[in-house]
């Protein structure tokens, strides 16, 4: 196999469009992985999955101010563009799109993309403007890159569902690829925010995965009452004094609405502060009369 050409780094929309036009004209397929940088193995795992369906991968690195609420960590969010560029290139990214804030949000821009129902629960209840920011920037990136497929991590399950709904509602001609959650050996889901965890917090951070796993195991063992599954998850989290949960629930997968009896495609989801760091995790499952199967990606 020939060596891939060097990765190109692009900041301007017009430059990206100019580079992608001949790619599209040649009938080559374009994959997009949107990120906020501070890349880890989880982000990089998207690249080979995209390359299985695409000829060229664009990765965006953009810390999107619109998805941070007042008092959240926009200012201190880890930024490491030089390291990110190296990691992205090694992983096989062809184009790194790293626009300035004023490029994506020039003075006077005001259009917002809202999903009032899906965005109002779980993460949206805690972070009321978060998904409006996500949906708006994803719509922009899809219009700028016009990828054939774009990947989103299952770790941010509600975000993945928001993106699928947005793509369907606005008729974007793109396939959405769900990527399984990459984890540390103790189960902690990789996240750029793990960098905030001190040693004591880090030891307790695996509680989120433990709680999800306990919820899943309860369903696998035959428990079907959602309230009892949630009680099992809460009990696990209770054993970790530094962990303060926002929610630990079992929900329908399609719309994340509550259910009384666990059946069909469902997800256990946890959000919690560990010390001052807010983390998320989930597991997705298919519950049928024949048994319970975990769905990854």
Binding site for ligand AMP (CB under 6 A): 35-36, 42-43, 45, 152-153, 155-156, 179, 181-182, 189-192
In the bound complex, what is the minimum distance in angstroms from residue 77's beta carbon to ligand AMP? 9
Q: Quote the least distance from Cβ 252 to ligand AMP, whole Å.
A: 20
Q: What DSSP line would sit under 170-185, residue for residue?
A: TT---EEEEEPPPB-T
For the record, the structure tokens of 73 come out as 């960590």
Q: Which is nearer to ligand AMP, 7 or 59 (CB)?
A: 59
Q: Based on CB atoms, which residue is closest to ligand AMP, 35 or 119?
A: 35
Report the nearest approach of ligand AMP to the CB of residue 170 (Å).
Answer: 18
**Least distance (Å) from ligand AMP to the CB of residue 179?**
5
DSSP state of 67: G
Nearer to ligand AMP, 180 or 275 (CB): 180
In the beta sheet, which residues pair with residue 292? Answer: 287
Give every CB contact of residue 275 below 8 A, 6+ residues apart in sequence.
197, 198, 200, 201, 242
Of residues 73 and 89, the one with the C-beta less far from ligand AMP: 73
Who contacts 3 (Cβ-Cβ below 8 Å, separation ≥6)?
Answer: none
Q: For 96, list phi and psi in degrees, rounded to 5.
A: -105, 115
**Cβ distance 85 to 48 under 8 Å?**
no
Count of CB atoms situated within 10 Å of the CB of 21: 11
Give the other-Cβ count within 10 Å of 17's Cβ. Answer: 14
Per the annotation, the verdict on 40 as an active-site residue is no
Which residue among the candidates 43, 46, 53, 171 is catalytic per the annotation?
A: 43
Query: Which residue lies nearer to ligand AMP by CB, 78 or 275?
Result: 78
Whether residue 242 contacts residue 277, with contact meaning beta carbons closer than 8 Å, is answered with: no
Minimal distance in Å, beta carbon 199 to ligand AMP? Answer: 21
Cα separation, 170 vs 18, in Å, equals: 25
- Identify the residue whose tokens are 């999955």: 49
The residues annotated as belonging to the active site are 43
């Amino acid at each position: 196999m020939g060596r891939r050409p060097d990765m190109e780094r692009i900041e301007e929309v017009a430059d990206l469009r100019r580079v992608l036009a001949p790619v599209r004209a040649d009938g080559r397929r374009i994959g997009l992985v949107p990120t906020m940088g501070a890349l880890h193995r989880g982000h990089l795992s998207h690249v080979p999955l995209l390359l299985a369906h695409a000829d060229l991968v664009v990765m965006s690195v953009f810390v999107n101010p619109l998805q941070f609420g007042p008092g959240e960590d926009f200012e201190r969010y880890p930024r490491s563009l030089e390291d990110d560029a190296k990691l992205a290139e090694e992983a096989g990214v062809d184009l790194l799109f790293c626009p300035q804030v004023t490029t994506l949000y020039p003075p006077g821009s005001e259009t917002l993309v809202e999903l009032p129902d899906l965005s109002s629960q779980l993460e949206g209840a805690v972070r009321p403007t978060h998904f409006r920011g996500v949906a708006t920037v994803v719509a922009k990136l899809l219009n700028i890159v016009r990828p054939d497929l774009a990947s989103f991590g299952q770790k941010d399950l509600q975000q993945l569902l928001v993106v699928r709904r947005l793509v369907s509602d606005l008729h974007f001609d793109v396939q959405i690829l769900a990527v399984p959650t990459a984890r540390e050996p103790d189960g902690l889901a990789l996240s750029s925010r793990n960098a905030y965890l001190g040693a004591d917090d880090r030891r307790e951070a695996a509680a989120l995965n433990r709680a999800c796993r306990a919820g899943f195991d309860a369903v696998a063992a035959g428990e079907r009452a959602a309230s009892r599954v949630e009680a099992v998850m809460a009990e696990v989290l209770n054993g970790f004094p530094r962990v303060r949960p926002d929610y630990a629930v079992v929900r329908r997968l399609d719309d994340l609405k509550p259910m009384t009896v666990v059946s069909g495609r469902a997800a256990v989801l946890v959000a919690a502060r560990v010390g001052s760091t807010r983390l998320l995790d989930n597991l997705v499952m298919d519950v049928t009369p024949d048994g319970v199967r975990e769905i990854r990606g």
